[in-house]
Chain A
Amino acid sequence: MSAVRRDARIAVAIARKDALAELRGRQAIVSTLFFSAVVLLLFGFSLGPDAARLAAAAPGLLWLAIVFSGVLAVGRLHLLETDDDALDQLARYPVSRRAIYAGKALAGFGVMLVIGLLVLAAVGILFAVDVLAAAPALLVTIVLGAIGVAAVGTFYAGVTVRLRAREVMLPLLMLPVLAPLLLGAVKATVAALAGDPFGELGAWLQLIVAFDLVMLVAGAATYGYLLED
């Protein structure tokens, strides 16, 4: 079996294992979704009741909710590995470190995609934004954004999983790095919702793609060092 095929098999096996564990017991997706709903409600309370203002702020609120929930969700996927020191066992299998990262990032992407789509729907409802009209562009943005959050989040969750102060270190490390993704995703969302009057949607999506690529490569290349000891 070629190296790439074996790596892919390992990654899929890890992602499946995470998905299985999450669906079974940990309810990470469900509790994170409730969290994002609460966040959106609080946004509404603090910025409302002017509907126009909320609608204008909606793209930013959308991605803030996604990013904050992402910190929680991706962190939980690594928390799985604290079961009886499972991470230590995982690190000692004769599999490439890239494959382990890819597997966990894949699981993270799945979770983020679900969260992103549902938060998008919630924002559409809560802030009276017509998301259906711009659905294709918004979908692409959500997918690309989910990749970025998963790539970065998986990496930093690996960084912090064995630390004492992991609950606060994960957002502290992750969020500044996500700033350009946030910027690009919000601008892309604004452009998409307005029908892309200035033709900037493509440029912003390219920015997100570049971000995703850099972070995926960096994460895959360095994750092995995190499993070292």
Chain B
Amino acid sequence: MRTRILGIVALVAVVAATYTALFVVPADLNQGDAQRIFYIHPAAAWVSYLSFGVTAAAGIGWLIKRDLRFDAVALAGAEIGVVFTAFTIWAGMMWARPVWGVFWQWEDPRLATTALLLALYAGYLLFRRLTDDPERRATRAAVVGIVAVLDIPIIHFSVEWWRGLHQTPTIGSPDRIMDPAAPGIFVATLLGMMAAFTLTWLYLIVRRYQLARAELAREERVRLARIASARSAFERAQPTQPAQPGQPTEAAR
């Protein structure tokens, strides 16, 4: 029930923010309406990074607590994260085309950074599929997720360094809305969009986690049932109690 409320709130927030970004805020002087995408792009990017953080943190949680629900969170984070990362790239491409005439360019390497992030996510998810045993998979995925997350700030840092050495054209720069001198409406819309995205992300994560946890519970029931049936097969095969010289051990719980 609470999840449903969260979903509705998120939906309302997204609709409101989108409406504001599309119709209320004035168009950019240089880029025209295409610049509006940049209310979405940072929000999607922020949520992509957040997802990976959640995946890595949940991985650490598994390694410490060995509770498979942590792994369910990690999986949810990765799946939702890959969706938002792909969306971020798509939004970036949709912006680049009308403004710069091409879908992709290397001058502003943040597209490449996000593409690397997507590669890290894809690798993580593909890697998960190669192990069947739940505990083993959780451990290996946790380790892979942690190292990948450590790489993200290094990627960011190195790319910013790279960018700093080359003059990027300011007219086409997406940073204009980050300019502190920008009128309040721009900043407010951006922040509103980020909040809306974060709520949506949270809703999706919770839903995906609930699904994964239900699957875990189901698998556990199957395992216990198999053990029980092995034990009853044993009982059926035993006409009498087996002979036991010496005292039996207490079956400790």
Direct A–B contact in the complex, CB atoms closer than 8 angstroms: yes
- Chain A residues in the interface with B (C-beta under 8 A): 155, 159, 163-165, 169, 172-173, 175-177, 179-180, 183-184, 187, 198, 200, 203, 207, 210-211, 214-215, 218-219, 222, 225-226, 228-229
CB pair B123 A172 closer than 8 Å? yes
| A-B CB pair tally, cutoff 8 Å | 81
Question: Which chain B residue has the least Cβ–Cβ distance from A177?
Answer: B151
CB pair A177 B126 closer than 8 Å? no
CB pair B162 A179 closer than 8 Å? no
Question: Which chain B residue has the least Cβ–Cβ distance from A184?
Answer: B158
Residues of B within 8 Å of A187, CB to CB, are 162
CB pair B123 A163 closer than 8 Å? no
* Cα-based distance from A180 to B113 in the complex (angstroms): 10
Question: Which chain B residue has the least Cβ–Cβ distance from A228?
Answer: B139
Interface centre among A163, A179, A225, A226 (most CB of B within 10 A): A179
Chain B 140-176: CB-based contact to A (< 8 A → 1; otherwise 0): 1011101110110011011101100100000000000
With contacts A222-B143, A226-B143, A229-B136 known, is A180 near B120, CB below 8 A? no
* Cα-based distance from A159 to B139 in the complex (angstroms): 11
Chain B 110-132: CB-based contact to A (< 8 A → 1; otherwise 0): 00000010011011001100110
Interface centre among B130, B135, B150, B151 (most CB of A within 10 A): B151
> Does B212 have its Cβ within 8 Å of any Cβ on chain A?
no
Residues of A within 8 Å of B99, CB to CB, are none
With contacts A177-B151, A207-B157 known, is A172 near B126, CB below 8 A? yes
With contacts A200-B165, A218-B147 known, is A159 near B157, CB below 8 A? no
Output the least CB separation between B127 and chain A (Å). 6
Q: What are some 8 contacts across the A-B interface (CB < 8 A)?
A: A172-B123, A176-B120, A180-B151, A180-B157, A187-B162, A207-B157, A218-B146, A225-B63
Residues of B within 8 Å of A226, CB to CB, are 139-140, 143
CB pair A207 B161 closer than 8 Å? yes
